[in-house]
Structure 1
């Protein structure tokens, strides 16, 4: 294994695995830290954690455990993967985890690059854009768990770490890998070990990839992995894929603008779950009964608008509402699987994390791409589509069901 990756949620980890497979790297996504050794044929290992919004100390502990396992597999370079919208709070967990990994690896210079141009995430002058809007005006300012109200990644990161934050601007990136390496060295010499990396185009990410050959630690979104596989002697055997037929059910707990549009556009049967129902103990068996009684592609969702979410959080508490909904979706996925469903679609990072934890696979095989950043994945005879809330076209649910059936 050459490249060891640590993801802070399950959808982001599958997004990263998708990028690496498309670049020809044989990749496996592991659910939590594995207990035994990896298959020697694996070239990139992605350890998926559910650590984005847990206490920072616990996120650090889990991430260091993942690092230890990846080092034992022989990895020479490590990537800490977080969301392309830099989802975090003022306390972390991006900064604390990155600091702990950097100390463990002795990394003198570490970039932070959540850019993913294919989905509209770009970084210019240290500011994160989503499409043509600043992060703080993209809808992420209403995220129920990690609202992002500042688009300046230097300020966001500086609030989470000890020390100053550096920056390599786009004008330097456009000069190529040598200029990037010189800029990183200058930032490190000035005492700025952690550096925000501008990137607007895929070409910029490829330049970053070449410049980062030999770097021990890299952090960012899946886009930063575009240029990394070319630095390793790969087998060229990224793996084949066999589709899966049968009934399919979609679960959506994301309140992002993109997912709410997808829910509204879905023309199959829909069942909304409110926070009050989840808190009152709505039975997952009842939701499974409803889904199995429907024709077509049934969708169970709790993707409410920001005002509804805020009202529920104010009445019952943010953590309590989130835990109730995640627990309900995870339990529903488990019941559906027990009743023979072998294709599940999940929208939202926290929801997908709950679904994967409930199904408890050891590892996930990366399959074909549905939309940018979202692949189909297989765990034995179960096929999953785990979508970050902000990703996917309006017809995502129907498209995912089609792609799940296709061979590659």
Structure 2
């Protein structure tokens, strides 16, 4: 693929993300590198204007692979109609989807639709401790399967060897671009890619330890129709368009400029990750919090009404946290009682209904923790698209919805953010209390 000048100023990069917080994370990276970026919630009815990149957020990480493929292909077709010149498939930096895996199947389908024979897979995100060496994924100093991800209630990861993991999800040959090659820079990576293609490799896991590696990998991928990975690899893609003369960030207003949003604030948390558990515990030390009990919801107790009554008592003075976050052991106990799918759906539906109730009370700033929770809430609020603002913590920017009644949102993947993330996010969204 050669990047060519588009006189109609259409978007350059079209992205497909398999969950909502991952999409926001990716958009954050592109904005940091000077690309005006809009995130859509699913495939929109109208195309955004005056943007350099579009990120289509799907909720396809844990659905059946056939459905994930169909949704991803539909998103690709729409992005092609907008005139995008290169495409990016974004998944989690912990490389998780389901036991059967959606990453390989979706990648296969996107390659076929684009008439391409090769792409890379690089979930590395050094700022959050995700690195790859010799094909093995590390979370901070621990292998993926020893990091806590082996106990994830929906997508447990029990193997850190991503070449092996990906090979189980595709009939195509999977290879590796190892760190000794990556450390030599973009030209060496391109040479290795050419050699792997000659060997019939269709997808290659690419090692990386630092952001400098990601910039080199991105430069090496300038000629690929499709790139796949976590949000980190997106750091190196805007530079290709700048070098080709298609993108000049200095000509536009800052890519992260957002309008102010007035209204009350609230925090909703549904993730069971270690990071979110720590954030919830930190918040509860000095701020009001209301816990959602899935078993109480299942018994038909008025949990939503009670949560809204609790929040309304504090709206004028400070934001409240409404959370279903708990330990992985407690999640398993609830799942054993209700079933995995029902337990998850109850929490998502409950937090979505609470979000609608909060909006009716005048809440216009929401901090949301958890990918599934974020997806449920933005759908409940009828959010169709987001403009991406400044970064709050690595991987999480401030955003504002596009529409008649704007809502300020911080959509956080469960594993992301410092322990005081909720407080920082509210300040960045405009709540100075």
Give the TM-score, by structure 2 length: 0.91
The match for 1:285 is: 305
- 1:264 aligns to 2:286 (yes or no): no
What's the C-alpha RMSD, in Å, of the aligned pairs?
1.4
2:27 match:
17
* Secondary structure of the structure 2 residue equivalent to 1:193: strand
Secondary structure of the structure 1 residue equivalent to 2:362? coil
1:39-54 to 2 correspondence within 5 Å?
Answer: 39=49, 41-54=50-63
- TM alignment of 1:193-208, pairs within 5 A: 193-208=202-217
Look up the match of 2:162.
Answer: 153
Give the counterpart of 2:424 among 395, 399, 402.
399
Q: Cα distance, 1:245 vs. partner?
A: 4.2
Question: Residues of 2 paired with 1:89 and 1:43: CA distance?
Answer: 32
TM-superposed CA distance for 1:182, in Å, is 1.1
Quote the residue 1:3 is aligned against.
Answer: 13
Q: What is the distance in 2 between the residues matched to 1:82 and 1:63?
A: 12
- Aligned residues of 1:245 and 1:404 also touching (Cα < 8 A): no
In the alignment, structure 1 residue 241 sits paired with structure 2 residue 258: yes
Q: Which string of whole-angstrom CA distances, capped at 9 and with x for unpartnered residues, describes residues 318-376 of structure 1?
A: 01100110111111111111221001110000011110111121210101111000011
Deviations 1:221-272 (A, max 9, x none): 1100001001112141225223334321101000001110111111211111
Q: Which residue in the other structure is 1:273 paired with?
A: 292
- Secondary structure of the residue that 1:218 maps to in structure 2? strand
2:420 & 2:261 partners in 1: Cα distance?
Answer: 20
Is contact 1:168–1:195 with CA below 8 Å preserved after alignment? yes
CA distance in 1, matches of 2:212, 2:248: 24
Aligned to 1:186: 195
Q: Which residue of 1 aligns with 2:320?
A: 298
Contact 2:153–2:332 (CA<8 Å) still a contact in 1?
yes
Shift in CA distance, 109/23, structure 1 to aligned 2, threshold 3 Å? same
Q: Deviations over 1:75-131 (max 9, x none)?
A: 111000011111122312111111110110122211110000011111111011110
**Could you tell me how far apart the structure 2 residues matched to 1:197 and 1:374 are?**
24
The corresponding residue for 1:212 is 221
Cα distance in structure 1, aligned partners of 2:226 and 2:337? 42
3-state SS of 1:166 partner = strand
With normalisation by structure 1, the TM-score equals 0.97
Q: Deviation digits for residues 182-224 of structure 1, max 9, x if unmatched?
A: 1111112112111101010000000001101121000001100
Where does residue 320 of structure 1 map in the other structure?
Answer: 342
Aligned partners of 1:243 and 1:406 also within 8 Å: no
How many Å separate the matches in 1 of 2:197 and 2:296?
Answer: 52
Alpha-carbon shift at residue 283 of structure 1 (Å): 4.3
Query: Is residue 10–residue 349 contact of structure 1 (8 Å, CA) maintained in 2?
Result: yes
Counterpart of 1:89 in structure 2 is 98
Matches within 5 A, 1:22-171: 22-39=32-49, 41-171=50-180
Mapped contact 1:249–1:345 kept (Cα < 8 A) = yes
In the alignment of these two chains, the number of paired residues is 406
User: Could you tell me which residue of structure 2 aligns to residue 377 of structure 1?
Assistant: 399
The answer to whether the 8 Å contact 2:263/2:362 transfers is no
- Residue 414 (structure 2) aligns with: 389
